Structure 1
């Protein structure tokens, strides 16, 4: 028999640890918004007075923030100096500030901070069975989602994933080819494909106005807007833009109210010997109930974001972030795809699927 007191105490300690993590996210977000980490990176070891001057904040607040950061081992404090100097380790700076690094987490912090804006709407959705509009999470949510995936899309996708997927890579390399990127978000996946395969013409589809405008801006900045076009349309309408040889969908199928309808539209829009790459969360094959940090992270996003937004349009499949491979297989079968493969490509967060007509 479990000791109730010990079980209670362990849980209380776990809740306390979570509260420390919550304060970490808040303080990191504050440091990013105020430019405190950037100032520490540019200035090296700094006193609270020097940081306040560099970042344009009050010294008393800078000192309190620095001491909290030091206690949480985010910055390092040199107590031998008088006054105390604080340093942001290089590796920590990369995680927080380097948008090109695969270790970048700064954007994810911003996306997490978009959740409180929608909390009342999520609470209401729980009571009614309805959903929450994507717009409720604001521009910061869109920016955070796009920037957090950007390094993977610009580096891992063209350099590791696509070359390892013969039916996709061969098509993209063979000559003029049309690609449809479903749920393209802020456009980084579409841009990465066009950069890696100069003969590819990529059409990205997303219903969100802010995402599409950002995607167009990113394509202009990358100098490839002549080969990458973005459409603010529901992906279920893409058939009139076809045919396409290759289709992709990155971390979006689980967000869709009608995933089978979208996949059916893709099936109709691609040629008979075409192929579709789907990248989504690397969930367990089945719910086990066992502690699992990665699965818990996925469930967190599902409870507060992906499931509510997916339930906004009714009727809805109500998939949520934790989409099991068997669920996606069922969607693909119902959409008319005859071949469904889980690709043997390892990644900490994502699983890759190949669908063929």
Structure 2
């Protein structure tokens, strides 16, 4: 024991203590960013303008004392700037793009909203560590799925039609001519609605096993004015109609699936001979040593709290969000696809695979 004590690098221990302190602060700050997003406080801070906690209280109608403490945390984290002489705070315009502007391609409000519902499931996930049985998707609070909708909305709004589809000219040609399309694991339907909105001659079908999400998707389609050409149905992705679709998409779905190969086999069977399947998955490596960064920390955590465990709950493989390109290729080959191409599109969070029979 004495030799072990002498071998301890106390400076290293102190540095790690600092890291833990930082991480604990970030965890607690996650709850406060959730409050700022849920109550609209971020949106109430005018970008580039200084205001005091009293002024913010008058603007929002919220408690000045609560706002003052919240603002202190945001200033300490660098989310807002602080001017001591006037006890004033300012949201930099660049930060507003991330925290307050829902139309911004940089907006992270959906991920912020995801913090609390996922963390509240931690005791259930802890039990799953003991049993290995996972936590069913149906047990997660409804806010989880609203957060997912918001976190992916920018992807469909800014990238799907404008940037991603043009990398597959044959798909754009088919969509313009009037294709039959399926989005499998469609959630609240945002991708399907984006396709129907951009290509009015195309018929789109959205499938998901989560009834609440399908109900939400139908409402979204009505509000978007495309309910006449988008159909949403509660259906397992391994039970798709055969030889029906010109284009099939999945967005961050395969790694959650109980049986990814069965899902891809069903998608292959559902495609017409000249059809195309677009698989979008997380832009990560399957190797831990290549994920030792901020994105890796975030994605391993989300995967543990949701992606992996919902698959295990269905008796699945529990692949998790860190699936990576090699596993995507493996699944596609095993499912009978002959052509697999990673699209030459650089995205922070997304990797795109064009897969054809």
TM band (smaller chain) = over 0.9
The CA RMSD over aligned residues, in Å, is 2.1
Partners of 1:229 and 1:34 lie apart in 2 by: 33
**Structure 2 residue 102 is matched with structure 1 residue 95:** no
Q: Is the 8 Å Cα contact of residues 161 and 345 (structure 1) preserved in structure 2?
A: yes
**Structure 2 residue 102 is matched with structure 1 residue 104:** no
Go from structure 1 to structure 2 and tell me whether the alpha carbon gap of 1:9 and 1:79 turns closer, same or farther (over 3 Å shift): closer
Equivalent residue in structure 2 for 1:121, among 107, 121, 124: 124
Q: Is the 8 Å Cα contact of residues 179 and 200 (structure 1) preserved in structure 2?
A: yes
Matched with 2:219 is 217
Partners of 2:78 and 2:288 lie apart in 1 by: 35
Q: Is the 8 Å Cα contact of residues 31 and 115 (structure 2) preserved in structure 1?
A: no
Partners of 1:277 and 1:38 lie apart in 2 by: 35
For structure 1, list consecutive stretches of 5 or more residues without a partner in the other structure: none
Deviation string 1:202-235 (CA, Å, 9 cap, x unpaired) is 1011111221122111111111111111111111
TM-score (norm: length of structure 2):
0.92
- Residue aligned with 1:109, SS: helix
Partners of 1:11 and 1:238 lie apart in 2 by: 51
Equivalent residue in structure 1 for 2:21, among 16, 24, 32: 16
- Residue aligned with 1:98, SS: coil
Q: Which runs of 4+ in 1 moved over 6 A?
A: none
Partners of 1:239 and 1:259 lie apart in 2 by: 18
Partners of 2:273 and 2:290 lie apart in 1 by: 41
Partners of 1:215 and 1:226 lie apart in 2 by: 13
Matched with 2:292 is 291
Deviation string 1:54-78 (CA, Å, 9 cap, x unpaired) is 3222222222222222222222233
1:143-182 map, 5 Å: 143-173=146-176, 175-182=177-184
Go from structure 1 to structure 2 and tell me whether the alpha carbon gap of 1:43 and 1:273 turns closer, same or farther (over 3 Å shift): closer
Partners of 1:294 and 1:68 lie apart in 2 by: 23
Quote how far apart the aligned CAs of 1:145 are: 0.9
Q: Is the 8 Å Cα contact of residues 250 and 278 (structure 1) preserved in structure 2?
A: yes
Go from structure 1 to structure 2 and tell me whether the alpha carbon gap of 1:10 and 1:246 turns closer, same or farther (over 3 Å shift): same
Partners of 1:307 and 1:100 lie apart in 2 by: 30
Deviation string 1:106-161 (CA, Å, 9 cap, x unpaired) is 11111122112211110111111101111333122111111111111111110011
Compare 180-189 and 231-240 and name the one that shifted more.
231-240
Go from structure 1 to structure 2 and tell me whether the alpha carbon gap of 1:285 and 1:130 turns closer, same or farther (over 3 Å shift): closer
